[in-house]
Amino acid sequence: MRRTTSDIGANASARLAGMIGGGVMGMVWGAVWLGPTAAAEIGPPAVEHGVSATILATTADADGGPTVQQLSARLDADLRIGWITESGIEFGVEGAVAAETDQRRRDIVGGRFGNCPAGIGDCLALISPWSGVSTAGAQADSGPRLSLERAFVFGRTGFADVAIGRDQGVGARYAPAPPSLTRGVSAGDSALDPGGLDTVRTANDPTGPAAKLSVESVRLLGVRLGASFTPEADVRGLDAGAFSPRAGSASVHLRNVREVAINFARPLAGTDVIAGVTWSQADTETSAAVPIGVTSETAESWSAGLSVGREAWGIGVRVLSADPGIAHQRPYRAWRVGTRLDALGWIWGLEGGHSTDALVHTTSSVWQIGAARDLGHARLALGWRDTRLEAPEATPAGRRGRTIEASGVFIETHLAF
């Protein structure tokens, strides 16, 4: 079945209203049933808030052309208000907003690269739901962006946590990312990507901050289980979520997204060990501009991560495998590794990542090395970064690959309060 974006938006609103309405009505009826006695048992609100800012300056040589200097920035703010009853039940609300200015010639993630419209060989006029790359149609409009990243109500008992509203699913949170010196730019899953060529994504985050229901167990012997359900993945955050159709390129929409995950975190023989495995499945639909012969099926993805370390060192790896649900069975594969070593008053690190996206015939790789130092509320990091993206180009003889490369130095300042 194929639907237009307006149809999907209408259904998303109805499902979201039902989900949040049910949660709110449950709270109201609970308050009525408990009566004034419950109000007397509730303690004063606990308020937590934070603000962080990341400023990234880069100098890079792109494709052998002139050196390009660029300044990118990101601002994050979050707020959490919670109450605890005398019986130990916690409930409250949490929200977060983020704003950034980044690579001006790309979308939040991905963008158009190469030139391979539908009808040339096996090219499709589609936007990849994972890398955000398209090889046909208009370029994405990008510039300063603002996003509501979290807005949900939560409840916590001695057995499980429940959250309803805008948030990441358990798939994005349970598989640990490798160590990284920086907060903005990294080798894969990068919040800031000044070159616009890093399409490595290893977080299993098919929904972004779309409204969802998440249920998570308490941690027992280091193990925690979680599940999330998202009726419509129709929201785009700064780092993940749905892509809107662009002129000449269709997008893939996910519905009824189911996520399950398991996480293990526990010191073993003096070494901190964090491991996680996640899996998601969703029904897929495409927007109106669908190439002939392309049908929609069930999308699936899984990720796994492992991170080990001590106070002075750390190492980790995370992988992602995703089938976008297109009949041609063109998967997305990505991996990311990272290490850190504390020595001589600095934190030293090396990280790398690689991805292949068979849906749009692109390959991306990124390597980064640098050093960082904590100065009170700030972290100063500097290093060198190399990013390459191979995108398809249509020729009279068919499709061929063209490599775009950017390498240079970066300086990042991260402030957190």
pLDDT computed for residue 23 by the predictor: 45
φ, ψ for residue 22, nearest 5 deg? -60, -40
User: Do residues 355 and 200 lie in contact, with contact meaning Cβ atoms separated by under 8 Å?
Assistant: yes
pLDDT computed for residue 252 by the predictor: 78
Other Cβ atoms closer than 10 A to 337: 19
Q: Give all domains of the chain, ordered by start, each with its CATH number.
A: 5-416 (2.40.160.10)
pLDDT computed for residue 383 by the predictor: 95
Report the distance separating Cα 409 and Cα 370, nearest Å: 9
Local structure of residue 204 (DSSP, 8 states): -
3-class state of residue 35 by DSSP: helix
Q: Give, in order, the Cα–Cα distances in Å from 175 to each of 205, 265, 303.
A: 11, 11, 7
pLDDT computed for residue 137 by the predictor: 64
Residues 365-397 pLDDT 10s: 999 999 999 999 999 999 999 999 888 877 777
pLDDT computed for residue 212 by the predictor: 95
pLDDT computed for residue 14 by the predictor: 46
pLDDT computed for residue 141 by the predictor: 59
Local structure of residue 375 (DSSP, 8 states): E
pTM: 0.84
The residues of the chain scoring below 70 in pLDDT are 1-40, 61-68, 103-110, 112, 114, 119, 121, 137-143, 242, 244-249, 286-296, 327-329, 398
**Taking the C-alpha atoms of 338, 304, 255 and 225 in order, what is their torsion angle to the nearest 10 degrees?**
-120
User: Do residues 90 and 74 lie in contact, with contact meaning Cβ atoms separated by under 8 Å?
Assistant: no
pLDDT computed for residue 21 by the predictor: 43
